[in-house]
């Protein structure tokens, strides 16, 4: 599995011939996005900063778009999605959090989650997280302290922080790493297999965009 970060909450996850896009930045956003073809597009929040399905269409590659709660099975990917809340851009909004299983690994993508209080249904699903995509930037989503507290509760093997800088508090990453007591150098991409996760407990990977 290869994970690359394109700013805000926009990630590309590739494995084999399948490509996933999480919260792609729309061309209507003020943020700078990128363009590639995907098989599945996950949208947590209906906002131009996160709903750019059109940006992950390429040629005949039309992604299956998942934009709300439910259970889905697409190709080799099992998806469970749960409703949560966000206050992104100072608006009370519905946010969707995702549990995604592929290649024997469990990903949890929290989108623009605005509270550390997840539903009991979501918590039960998130009981064995390999990689947690965690918003940390405050300003309508979890701030650094809330994010660190939720990460401790969820006990993922790896944590990838997101939603800071251009869309959140400028110093959020520094604050989050301080909360976690870690110093982590950014890397361009994460290439990982299930066996690489053995023995990891809340390790942080910072991806440069």
d(CA 128, CA 21): 22
209 part of a folded domain = no
Number of domains in the chain: 1
Q: What is the pLDDT of residues 145-188, one digit of tens each?
A: 999 999 999 999 999 999 999 898 989 999 999 999 988 999 99
Tell me the average pLDDT across 45-62.
94
CATH of residue 46's domain is 3.60.15.10
pTM of the complete model: 0.97
Measured over all CA atoms, what is the biggest interatomic distance in the chain, rounded to whole angstroms? 46
163 Cβ neighbours under 8 A, 6+ residues apart: 8, 9, 112, 135, 136, 137, 141, 172
Helix (H) or strand (E) holding 99: strand 93-102
User: In the beta sheet, which residues pair with residue 15?
Assistant: 18
d(CA 182, CA 190): 18
Tell me the average pLDDT across 76-100.
97
Query: Residue 118 is part of which domain span?
Result: 2-204
């Amino acid at each position: 599995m290869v994970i690359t970060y394109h700013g805000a909450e926009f990630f590309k996850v590739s494995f084999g011939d399948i490509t996933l896009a999480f919260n792609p930045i729309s061309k209507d956003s003020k943020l700078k996005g990128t363009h590639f073809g995907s098989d599945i597009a996950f949208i947590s929040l209906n906002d131009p900063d996160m709903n750019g399905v059109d940006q992950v269409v390429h040629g005949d590659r039309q992604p299956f778009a998942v934009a709300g709660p439910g259970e889905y099975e697409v190709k080799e990917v099992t998806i469970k999605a749960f409703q949560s809340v966000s206050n992104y851009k100072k608006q009370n909004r519905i946010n969707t959090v995702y549990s995604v299983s592929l290649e024997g690994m469990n990903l949890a993508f929290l989108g623009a989650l605005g509270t550390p209080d997840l539903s009991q249904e979501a918590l039960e699903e998130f009981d064995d997280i390999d990689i947690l995509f965690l918003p940390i930037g405050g300003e309508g989503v979890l701030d650094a302290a809330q994010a660190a507290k939720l990460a401790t509760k969820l006990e993922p093997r790896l944590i990838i922080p997101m939603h800071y800088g251009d869309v959140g508090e400028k110093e959020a990453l520094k604050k989050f790493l301080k909360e976690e007591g870690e110093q982590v150098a950014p890397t361009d991409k994460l290439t990982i297999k299930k066996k690489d996760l053995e023995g990891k407990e809340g390790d942080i990977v910072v991806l440069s965009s």
